[in-house]
Structure 1
Amino acid sequence: MTGWLYLTLAIGLEIVATTLLKLSNGLEKWGFAAASIGIYALCFLVLAPALKSIPVGVAYAVWSGVGIVAMAVIGIILFDQRLSLVQMGCVALVLVGALGLRLSTPAGGEI
């Protein structure tokens, strides 16, 4: 499996874990909290092999950037949260940065 595939899987796991963390209501709902913690642990286990071939700064920026954008969208759709136009613009800039890093990093990950 390539580093980018590992990173993509880690991003998906992080999004699920963060959504479950929100559903835990500040860790009050232990089922969601425990699931979130377990999935975060799995996320890091999947992220680690990606760091063998992708520079850590690029991997972390893409991982967190895509997670930020996804959680903003999930917050709007699932949790009825609102973002101002300025906030939406800032989230768009995060996405542009993450995509720019991905597109400017060779398939093997090495710069």
Structure 2
Amino acid sequence: MHGRHLEALLVVESPAVQTLINRKSSSLPTLQALCRVGGLLVGWLATMAVEVAGALLLAFIHKINEAFSQASRVESSRVESSRQTQRKQPEAIANATLHQRDLLSYQPTS
């Protein structure tokens, strides 16, 4: 067991392995920083996507609400117009009847 451990230490102590370890360890903080920046960027993009989706949903709901409100106003106007027509109808019939009587009783003078 000691022989293999010593052999492993010799391999680790070789200049090529040390250079590789030094490169990796010197680039490790850079890699960690890039991962942090990448994570922050992904988090920010996800937040923006959620905000945009929420804004679009809110705009869509507002448009639907506006359409229903307008339809309600049109229906209310139509109902009120119908009520007014129904109120005026007996009066219009009475006026037409009087007018017809006047026409029937009209005697041209010669």
Tell whether the structures are fold-level matches, with TM greater than 0.5.
Answer: no
Instruction: Give the alignment's TM-score, normalised by structure 1.
Output: 0.25
TM-score in terms of structure 2 length:
0.25
Larger relative contact order (Cα-Cα within 8 Å, sequence gap ≥ 6): 1
The higher radius of gyration belongs to 2
Q: Where is the helix percentage greater, Structure 1 or Structure 2?
A: 2
